[in-house]
Structure 1
Amino acid sequence: MTGPLTGRTALVTGAGNGLGQAMTQHLVDAGARVIMVGRNLDKLVQARQELGLTGDQCKLASCDVSDSASVDQLALTLKDESVSILVNNAGIPGPVSDLVDIDPDDWDNVFATNVRGVYLICRAFLPAMMKSRSGDIINIASVSGKRPLVGRTPYCASKMAVIGLTTTLAAEAGPYDIRVNSLSPGPVRGPRMERNFRLEAERSGTSYNQAEADLVSRAALGRMVEEEEVGQALVGILQMRGLTAADIDLSAGMVAR
């Protein structure tokens, strides 16, 4: 398949389901070859099968992005690949609880994947991009990093950290013609949000439907974002060669109130 990304190889972390799977499909549709990365190789195999992709279109590699040794091994395994697109999508939602009730280990686990993972992947694959003087890095942040979300302090703080990492790395990488941007979806329809609504209902003593309605009511469009829309936005960002150090809000108009 040919398209605007033909000839390029993209590495997508957290590719075994949800947004990672959807973004993989859109990257392939745009002509890119994709390396799907995740902790569970069996999930990656299943995801590739569900997408109907071949081994030529999509390579699989297991890695725990929070572990430096695992990331170093991933870079060694892929040393012959010319990765020119990094999509740092791997992330965990963390606890749904008031800050005073959050265990420090749970807090650290969120930052280990959501922030340290982005740092480690960039640290491992950026040098080759700098050598070739080209490339794109897109870090998946969240609108929750930019507006209040009660009961989600570790997640929100981690996503704001990703946005800060993005803007600073863009300044460092810019002289090498490498673009670094973040994409901040709002609530994306799917199993993760279903889990969050259930836990928020338990925390606040309300119903699942009310927890969902309370969050969706903050969006100007009155709805959640679809996985397909995130995939489309990713490909769009990659075609804007003058775009760097930007955070793209894809939240259906979610506002801070």
Structure 2
Amino acid sequence: MDLPDRLIARTALITGAGNGLGRAFALALDARGVRTILAGRRREPLEETRALLSGSRVATVDVADPASVAALAKELADEDISILVNNAGVPGPVKPLLEIEPEEWDDVFAVNVRGMYLVCRAFLPPMVARGAGDVINLASVSGKRPLANRTPYTASKMAVIGLTNTLGAEVGPSGVRVNSLSPGPVRGPRMERNFRLEAELTGGTAEDAERAFTSRAALGRMLEESEVADALVAMLSMTGLHCADIDLSAGMVGR
């Protein structure tokens, strides 16, 4: 793929960049000439991601903690960040709503929604002042269709889509674009964990849980991290995309 002109030499802040989709996003942006700042709670996986890139910066943060996010903004005050990828998130419990404790619910929303709000509040003002910038928030197909035994996660991802639409309406007139990306099941440790817990809950096997989940997708398969990363790059290259949620679910929403 040719280097999109609007990506070369820009700087992106990626939360949750130590592994999974965060790492895939960093690799895809780095390959297209974007300088990346890798943020997350633990430095070790961030350093592992940085070792795979041509040049980046690492910073630790707990996105759910206002003081930690404020400290990150102060630490990165010298950076001209024009791409913000709000990827940090937690999967939450796998069990029926009536068995979920309030603390479990709050833990999911603290990271998946409150964390996104805090990071946007900290890093959007310079973009608004410049009149340009891109924000991509990671939502999920789970926020758009039922997913039994995952209520806190699905509710949090629906909230992300609402946050994206409203924030986009607020900052769009300044020239800052805000969109969300909703992947379906992505192959990797997180989905393996979810399938294992679902199997424990239903008395089946992890393989049964995976087959049941992927059967909902028209393509009948899971996504690869690289596919989701390519979608993020494409979104950043679409200059008219704003207040939009992009479904990348292998046809799960369509069914």
TM-score of the aligned structures, taking structure 1 as reference length: 0.96
Contact 1:147/1:256 (CA < 8 Å) preserved in 2?
no
Give the whole-Å Cα distance in 2 for the aligned partners of 1:255 and 1:63.
33
1:1-257 to structure 2, matched below 5 A, reads: 3-4=3-4, 5-49=7-51, 51=52, 53-54=53-54, 57-255=55-253
Partner deviation per Cα, 1:73-115 (whole Å, 9 max, x = no partner): 0000000101000000000000000000001101000000000
Give the whole-Å Cα distance in 1 for the aligned partners of 2:33 and 2:223.
24
TM-score of the aligned structures, taking structure 2 as reference length: 0.97
Partner deviation per Cα, 1:135-175 (whole Å, 9 max, x = no partner): 00000000000000000000000000000000000000111
Query: Structure 1 residues 156 and 256 mapped into 2: Cα distance closer, same or farther (>3 Å)?
Result: farther
Aligned residues: 252
Letter in 2 for 1:118: M
Contact 1:88/1:138 (CA < 8 Å) preserved in 2?
yes
Query: Structure 1 residues 256 and 147 mapped into 2: Cα distance closer, same or farther (>3 Å)?
Result: farther
Percent identity between matched residues is: 63
Query: Structure 1 residues 93 and 24 mapped into 2: Cα distance closer, same or farther (>3 Å)?
Result: same
Shift of 1:35: 0.2
Unpaired runs of at least 5, structure 1: none
Contact 1:148/1:256 (CA < 8 Å) preserved in 2?
no
Q: Could you say what the CA RMSD is over the residues aligned between the two structures, in angstroms? A: 1.1
Contact 2:144/2:253 (CA < 8 Å) preserved in 1?
no
Letter in 2 for 1:17: N
Contact 1:166/1:245 (CA < 8 Å) preserved in 2?
yes
Contact 2:218/2:254 (CA < 8 Å) preserved in 1?
no
Give the whole-Å Cα distance in 1 for the aligned partners of 2:43 and 2:104.
25
Shift of 1:3: 2.8
Letter in 2 for 1:161: A
